Amino acid sequence: MKVTFVAADGASTLVEADEGESLMQAAISNDVDGILGECGGSMMCATCHCYVDEAWAGRAGPPVDGEDDMLECATAERRATSRLSCQIRMSAGIDGIVIHLPETQV
């Protein structure tokens, strides 16, 4: 399955992700700049903040309990499509998803 990460400058990186793998882990495993994941995916930081492309927002699922609170800690602008990439798990329904990255995570 594939995920496209689009940096703030418009550069895109296409990566492979396994079923059930978080988008944060897929980004880190493929050296995608812009996703730090300092807490390792335990939803204790907001350094994996991302923007789900509007075309995919409905398919990525709603934020999990506590995710909205943690997004309040994000350093970049919060948008309607803001999510923590550690909380989005790869599945066939989002194969090909496009994720935009904020200019900074810190």
Tell me the pLDDT tens digit for each residue of 24-80: 999 999 999 999 999 999 999 999 999 999 999 999 999 999 999 999 989 999 999
Question: Quick one: pLDDT at residue 44?
Answer: 93
The reply to whether CATH 2.60.15.10 applies to domain 2-100 is no
Number of neighbours of residue 32 by Cβ within 10 angstroms: 19
Sign, CA torsion 46/50/51/57: negative
CA-wise closest residue to 100 among 2, 1, 12, 41 = 12
DSSP state of 102: -
Q: Using DSSP, how many helices (H) and how many strands (E) does the chain show?
A: 2, 5
Number of neighbours of residue 63 by Cβ within 10 angstroms: 16
CA distances from 84 to 8, 80 (A): 16, 12
pTM attached to this predicted model = 0.95
Sequence spans of domains, the chain:
2-100
